[in-house]
C-alpha cells in the first residue's frame, strides 16, 4: 500500500479524521475525543498505515495542540493549504478540495 494522508479537522473537544490513499480513496474516517483515550484510539487507527502523513487543519491555531501531540509521538505532520484536500471538508463551511497530488507536507 502507498502513502496515505490523514486529514484532520480539529474542534474544541474532538477531531474528525479521514484517511485517503494516493488514488483519493477513503480508507477510514471517524470523530474522536481529544482526551487521552480518544487521542489514543485515533492514533491507533492512523498507525494501521505504515507510510502516513497527518495533515492538521489549523495547526497554528485550534489544531496546534493535536499537531504537537502527534509530533511528540513521532508522527509526520503537515498542513493542508488554503484550499482543502479532504472530502470531509468539502462543505460550504470549509471550502473546496484540491487533488491529493497537489498537497505537500510542510518541511
* pLDDT above 50: residue 29: yes
With the CA atoms of 105, 22, 84 and 68 taken in that order, what torsion angle do they form, in degrees rounded to the nearest 10? -40
| Chain segment 80-93, per-residue pLDDT in tens | 653 444 443 443 33
**And the C-alpha cell for 48?**
494501521
Q: What is the pLDDT of residue 102?
A: 45
* 46 close to 76: Cβ distance less than 8 angstroms: no
Cβ(7)–Cβ(18) below 8 Å: yes
Look at residue 7 and tell me whether its pLDDT is greater than 60: yes
| Domain annotation for the chain: domains and CATH numbers | 4-100 (3.30.420)
Residue 72 pLDDT more than 80?
yes
Query: Measured between alpha carbons, how far is 37 from 27 in angstroms, rounded to an integer?
Result: 22
**Residues 102/82, Cβ–Cβ less than 8 Å:** no
Average pLDDT over residues 20-33: 93
Does residue 104 have a pLDDT over 80? no
Amino acid at each position: 500500500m502507498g502513502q496515505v494522508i490523514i486529514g484532520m479537522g480539529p474542534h474544541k473537544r474532538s477531531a474528525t479524521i479521514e484517511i485517503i490513499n494516493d488514488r483519493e480513496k477513503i480508507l477510514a474516517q471517524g470523530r474522536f475525543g481529544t482526551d487521552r483515550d480518544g487521542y489514543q484510539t485515533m492514533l491507533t487507527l492512523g498507525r494501521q498505515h505504515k507510510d502516513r502523513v497527518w495533515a492538521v487543519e489549523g495547526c497554528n491555531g485550534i489544531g496546534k495542540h493535536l499537531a504537537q501531540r502527534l509530533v511528540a509521538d513521532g508522527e509526520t505532520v503537515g498542513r493542508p493549504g488554503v484550499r482543502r484536500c479532504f472530502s470531509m471538508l468539502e462543505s460550504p463551511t470549509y471550502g473546496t478540495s484540491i487533488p491529493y497530488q497537489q498537497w505537500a507536507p510542510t518541511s
